[in-house]
Amino acid sequence: EKVPPPVIAGDVPREEPEPVDLLDLLEIPEEAAPPAPPVEKTKAQLLADFIRERSMGAKLTSKRQLAAEEEDLEELLRSLQEDESCRDIVSARGDKDEYFYSNQYMSDNYAMIAVLVEEKNLPKTIAHMVRWNAKTYPMPTPVHYFFHSPYYYTEPQVERALHLIKQSEEYRDIGEIITGNGVKYLYSSLHMSEKYARALAEANEWGEFGY
């Protein structure tokens, strides 16, 4: 009976490596899926994009403007209302027209003001905003408020509108006060007394350091 040769320390038999498949060494790119064809937008979706673009520029889109470009506007507007992707397109009615905007890019409050400005009825715009400010904040409205964005009325335009407001029974709640430093404010007696309006106006003008 043969005796196996002695095993020397460190003399460990090595395993033979498995043969390498050459295909494993090649970097074969996966076939890219063909790009999906672009989805063609409907007329309603294109209209929504147009209204959104104008809303981003702080502009309303009037129904009259759309009617001049689209013969079957009512049908198109129905499609717009039924499209889930166009839910942000809403409208506000003025005395002269209906106006569309995206409430994703324009707040309902700004749209309300924009409708008033668009219809160029200065007495109504001034009275409406004076009432709204008196009810919401509450705060009387300085006349110079209407010289700035989004109104940009001139001083003669505002004075003419205030003259018409004083003569109209519709606006009998609109009153004027002048602060100690000579700033004219408007308030609505529907929402505050003259005394309260004057106190608020004086506090606003007095500020931290006085007049």
pLDDT tens, residue order, the chain (211 aa): 555 555 555 555 566 666 656 556 556 566 666 777 778 999 999 999 999 999 999 999 999 999 999 999 999 999 999 999 999 999 999 999 999 999 999 999 999 999 999 999 999 999 999 999 999 999 999 999 999 999 999 999 999 999 999 999 999 999 999 999 999 999 999 999 999 999 999 999 987 567 6
If DSSP codes are grouped into helix, strand and coil, which group holds residue 174?
Answer: strand
Would you state the structure tokens that stand for residue 134, as one six-digit string?
Answer: 């008196």
193 and 136 both lie in a single domain: yes
From 87, 111, 135, the end of a domain falls on 111
48 and 72 both lie in a single domain: yes
- The distance between the two most distant Cα atoms of the chain, rounded to a whole number of Å, is 134
Question: End-to-end distance of the chain based on CA atoms, in angstroms?
Answer: 122
5 cis-preceded (ω within 30 degrees of 0): no
For residue 61, the enclosing domain spans 43-111
> Exposure string (b/e) for 163-177, b if CB count within 10 Å is 16 or more?
eebeeeeebeebbeb
- Segment (H or E) for 166: helix 155-167
126 and 186 both lie in a single domain: yes
DSSP conformation class of 84: G
pTM: 0.74
How many domains does the chain contain in total? Answer: 2
6, part of any domain:
no
HSE, CB side, 13 Å, CA atoms: give it for residue 169. Answer: 0
96 and 140 both lie in a single domain: no
Q: Which amino acid is at 155?
A: E
Give me the sheet containing 89-93, strands edge to edge: 61-62, 98-102, 89-93
